[in-house]
Structure 1
């Protein structure tokens, strides 16, 4: 065990902290239980907290892509975000990128650029726009996002998906990918946005089982094997999807935590994250072609 690899109990504690179940003081106090064998609270916290320098896989100035700040109106509010697409070409299949429960942080911006590098028109809106936008750190971002109405945020992402269907650089084929809160949004968008051709929820919460029959596009679901909180709701929702005859695939990655795709923290599992992303791109290649 090293400072860079806290015990599983510390990861579980961080998950509770990230999702508002405990406050910052309780998180640090809880880490004290694992400060043994050379591990320190400060070292574990530094490992668990995001370092966004690690998450930049595509340079913002990459000459093969174009990026711009994009805004649109939804529910009487102006929502801002990052749009990215290949520099060469006129029209591209489009993907909506839905952030976690802390606003449009650098990791999610990088995901949008990764999609652009792979040939997509990507839009990553910031649900914190009405409150001034992502504040530059995740703690404040989480606090801000809790101030927003969940239904309003869902409507804003649904508006963004529909805008992508008619955007001048879009082929009209639209998919969605989201993480944590964004995964839950992607599950809802598959029910509520008929323009959506494919949806990829990463470790997101589940709709009500009675809504499974309303799913209107194929799903590819990614789950961390250690993510008991999210995974507990999957069996009844899967049963509802099966009963309704819906098209879906699910990949459970053994031994990895919630947030395993996020390469800014030690929850990142490189092999599983890269495999899941290859699967995601192949899925979009099939359904957004």
Structure 2
């Protein structure tokens, strides 16, 4: 009994010590300037103008939102690919927030082009070609400063852009990096076991720098595939990083104010800041 009384406080202390998988320096969030000197990052914010353009494909015309700094200067190119939600008002705000960081952003509305309703279940493979056409249109613009573009996406858009990079063989030649928020890393038409226990084989063929964001409360069947894909890339020595935000789930980058939380906002601000630094580095 006396031994139990002596060891109980120690056991309680050990039970409350958080488990840290890796040192903060290796986890990617440690900042010496902040910790030792008190320096906080001051992200660049530019006034943004937007316009709708039409991208001509082989059999469809694709409406696309273009957002860019409103100063006439040239900026690096980013292709923003929406997911199952489509390019609605909430997602258009994300496009503008990204452009304010100093990018020319082209966001094709591939669902409207083919009269696909929001939140489709099945995947139309023609959409992958439409994303490739939109990438061509972006790289042909005269107001971009980079010869390549970064692919930036969320949800099912992560699969569309993965296919453009790998299957269409655009990575390294036309694409400098891959950024995605909680991407669907599997063919949406694949059977259920493939959705839960596997990821798209194309993910293993990514060679460009890759940055993926998810929330700690991400759906299990989605998180599993993302984590396996990133782990596989890292084991191959590929430049891939996964950032996991505590206290948030899917949609933290666009959830509306009626349901938005402080954690959502912290994650969204941090993610776009990290994505900005990442893309600038690879679009130089």
Q: TM-score, normalised by structure 2?
A: 0.69
Q: CA RMSD in A?
A: 2.4
Give the C-alpha shift of residue 131 in structure 1.
Answer: 4.3
Matched, 1:266 2:241: no
Give the C-alpha shift of residue 267 in structure 1.
Answer: 5.6
**C-alpha separation in 2, matches of 1:91 and 1:183:** 26
Alpha-carbon distance change, 233 to 122 in structure 1, aligned in 2, over 3 angstroms: same
**C-alpha separation in 2, matches of 1:80 and 1:209:** 28
**C-alpha separation in 1, matches of 2:241 and 2:87:** 27
CA contact (8 A) 1:210 1:240 kept: no
Aligned twin of 1:58 = none
Aligned twin of 1:184 = 159
Q: TM-score, normalised by structure 1?
A: 0.68
**C-alpha separation in 2, matches of 1:180 and 1:203:** 6
CA contact (8 A) 1:75 1:152 kept: no
Equivalent residue in structure 2 for 1:223, among 214, 217, 224? 214
**C-alpha separation in 2, matches of 1:116 and 1:236:** 31
1:43-62 deviations in Å (ceiling 9; x for gaps) = xxxxxxxxxxxxxxxxxxxx
Structure 1 segments of 4 or more deviating over 6 A?
Answer: none
Matched, 1:206 2:162: no
Give the C-alpha shift of residue 188 in structure 1.
Answer: 3.1
Q: Which structure is larger by alpha-carbon Rg, 1 or 2? A: 2
Aligned twin of 1:175 = 150
CA contact (8 A) 2:153 2:180 kept: yes
1:35-85 deviations in Å (ceiling 9; x for gaps) = xxxxxxxxxxxxxxxxxxxxxxxxxxxx93322111112231111011111
CA contact (8 A) 1:184 1:201 kept: no
Give the C-alpha shift of residue 156 in structure 1.
Answer: 0.9
1:84-233 equivalences in 2 (<5 Å):
84-131=67-114, 141-142=118-119, 145-146=120-121, 149-171=123-145, 172-191=147-166, 192=168, 193-194=170-171, 195-207=174-186, 208=199, 210-227=201-218, 228-233=220-225
Alpha-carbon distance change, 163 to 105 in structure 1, aligned in 2, over 3 angstroms: same
- Paired residue secondary structure (2:244): strand
Alpha-carbon distance change, 175 to 276 in structure 1, aligned in 2, over 3 angstroms: same
Q: Say which is worse superposed, 268-277 or 235-244, in terms of deviation.
A: 235-244
Give the C-alpha shift of residue 273 in structure 1.
Answer: 1.4
**C-alpha separation in 1, matches of 2:134 and 2:113:** 15
CA contact (8 A) 2:80 2:152 kept: yes
1:244-283 equivalences in 2 (<5 Å):
244-264=236-256, 266=259, 269-283=264-278
Give the C-alpha shift of residue 241 in structure 1.
Answer: 0.9
**C-alpha separation in 2, matches of 1:232 and 1:267:** 25
Aligned length, in residue pairs: 219
Matched, 1:67 2:58: no
- Long gaps (5+) in structure 2: 1-45, 187-198
CA contact (8 A) 2:98 2:272 kept: no
